[in-house]
Amino acid sequence: MRRTLALLLVFTTVPVWSAQPVRARHGMVVTRERHATAAGLQVLKNGGNAIDAAVAVGLALAVTHPSAGNIGGGGFMLVRLADGRTTFIDFREHAPAAASRNMYLDANGKATQDSVTGYRAVGIPGTVRGLEYANKKYGKKPWAELVHPAYELASKGFPLSYALANSLRGQRGLAGFPESKRIFLKDGKFYEVGEVLTQPELAATLGRIEKLGSKDFYEGETARLLAKDMAAHGGLITEADMKGYTVHERATLNGTYHGYTIVTAPPPSSGGVGILQMLGMLDGTGYEKAGAGSATVLHYMTEAMRRYFADRSEHLGDPDFVKVPLTSLLAPKYIEKQRASIDPERATPSSQIKATVFTGHESNETTHYSVADEEGNVVSVTYTLNGGFGSKVTATGLGFLLNNEMDDFAPKPGEANMYGLVQGEFNAIAPGKTPLSSMTPTIVLKDGKPVLVVGSPGGPTIINTVLEVIVNVLDFNMNVQEAVNWPRFHHQWLPDELRVEAGISPDTVALLEKRGYTVKRVAAQGEAAAIHWNNGWLEGAADPRTEGTAEGH
């Protein structure tokens, strides 16, 4: 069964409460784009497990969702296996060997745009090696079988949806790079809705990957051509950088909330820490008694967000380079102290919130997808090019867009990046280092069995979107589609403003302003892809803010 959800920028309470998820008994795939959803579902039907399906989806999105789907970027895969084991596969981009702390500062010490656009913005991509790692260790199907759907989509093409055609038309930055302009902007003539987009260079790259595996991407023809293109345009990535890229498999970050077990992303994700810390601050306040959408609920959740993002700015970074004080950040006494500092009636100005000092010790174009199979395997994947269409650079002769992930470092510690996030020394640039990420794939368990899997794109809004979907299901008893549809809000400490979607009631906004908040209206906040387990049914929810789809069997 399949449901395609139309783009909605304005929400009201009626469609939220009338919304129903897609239901199936055996397997479920929820992604941003229908061809990728179909590719993943077919893998499940052919006997692959959730890990196999997730690999096929990731590669297909590299073709059909070029603004964020990628083989030129990186990301995270959170896995809960049928036998109860959990693991976290980190295939995030790394800084090249030639990267340096002040590489994006001009002669006056001011940050330039080089971390956002162009060849110098690119980190070493991790997606291909990460997906292959997951398939080899936890999958069942041959690698080539999982790459082939993406190869077919690139070589034969696919008809452009309204959203993709419109997105490409609005991407003026692509015009600054000849390969990007030729492939994605049709040399300035623009693609129309329904027109077929074929990508022969990308197909050739995927064909080599299908036959030779990640070895081609990191040590073969693809690596050679990418390094050559970098050298010709002032980029930093070399063949040695590509060959040296490694995937990190890490222990998951686990916590409890209202009788549920929360399994989430460890550093270099900042999101898992945030989810556990914010849920801990909410626990025991009784905030949920006021009801979803109330000013009281938004107040308590916003104050938790504000306090977490202050800590994020100072204490989080790549755990292979800095000592992240996880135990201190998640200590019950510390969370209790943070909870007690929330005034029940008034907003706390961000100027009064500072990152705690512990002794001794991230456009919004990412994409997320969730997969569950009949055996009980669950996969939550968030991966990205960082900004929309990444660095805007398409690798010459290779057909894929390159990330601008270097901006997820702190180009100048203490100053805001492209998302307005202020980041500290822990996230300063260093060779081989992984930039801090907001990506937050999360799985919720009850009595050891999966209940909910969710994730989101959207830069720093990712963390708060995931938090909101979780509490909508666990605390407000929404079905998973209602939880995904529900109007969202976001606060990240600095700037000191509360951003709310259009569906938040004007009365609620007025009450929040009386409490001392500066409220800013936004059209839409990110997206989510979620699956809920309910009395033997898998319930899939794609996001109506996008053309996302949920399909099951």
pLDDT single digits (tens) 427-483:
899 999 999 999 999 999 999 999 999 999 978 899 999 999 999 999 999 999 999
Measured between alpha carbons, how far is 507 from 496 in angstroms, rounded to an integer?
Answer: 21
The CATH 1.10.246.130 domain(s) of the chain lie at: 250-363+440-531
Instruction: Give φ, ψ of 262 to 5 degrees.
Output: -105, 120
Cβ neighbours of 83 (radius 10 Å): 8
pLDDT single digits (tens) 418-438:
666 667 788 899 999 999 999
Cis peptide before 457, with omega less than 30 degrees from 0? no
Three-state DSSP class for residue 183: helix
Is the Cβ–Cβ distance between 150 and 203 less than 8 Å? no
86, 127, 302, 366: which is the annotated catalytic residue?
A: 366
Judge whether 434 counts as a catalytic residue.
no
Three-state DSSP class for residue 6: coil
498-501 and 22-24 beta bridge pairing: unpaired
Measured between alpha carbons, how far is 443 from 71 in angstroms, rounded to an integer?
Answer: 25
Considering the entire predicted model, what is its pTM? Answer: 0.94
Amino acid identity of 330?
Answer: L
Measured between alpha carbons, how far is 294 from 553 in angstroms, rounded to an integer?
Answer: 37
Q: Which residues, in sequence order, are bridge partners of residue 541?
A: 530
Radius of gyration (C-alpha) of the chain in whole angstroms: 22
- Give the Å distances, CA to CA, from 162 to 71, 165, 192: 24, 5, 8
N-terminal to C-terminal alpha carbon distance within the chain:
7
Q: Give the DSSP letter string of 302-336.
A: HHHHHHHHHHHHHH-S-TTTS---HHHHT-HHHHH
In the sheet where 519-522 sits, what is the strand order?
489-490, 498-501, 519-522
Measured between alpha carbons, how far is 81 from 250 in angstroms, rounded to an integer?
Answer: 15
Q: Which CATH number fits domain 250-363+440-531: 3.40.50.300, 3.30.230.10, 1.10.3720.10, 1.10.246.130?
A: 1.10.246.130
**Residue numbers in the chain where pLDDT is lower than 70:** 1-18, 356-365, 416-422
Measured between alpha carbons, how far is 186 from 50 in angstroms, rounded to an integer?
Answer: 36
Amino acid identity of 76?
Answer: F
Residues 339-367 as b or e (16 or more Cβ within 10 Å = b)? beebeeeebbebeebebbebeeebbbbbb
Q: Which of 7, 170, 28 is nearest to 532 (CA)?
A: 28
Tell me what pLDDT residue 203 has: 98
Three-state DSSP class for residue 426: helix
Measured between alpha carbons, how far is 511 from 501 in angstroms, rounded to an integer?
Answer: 16
DSSP class of residue 174? G
- CA 39, distance to chain mean position in Å, is 20
Tell me what pLDDT residue 75 has: 97
- Tokens linked to 120: 């110098």
Measured between alpha carbons, how far is 419 from 386 in angstroms, rounded to an integer?
Answer: 10
Q: Which of 264, 302, 270, 320 is nearest to 79 (CA)?
A: 264
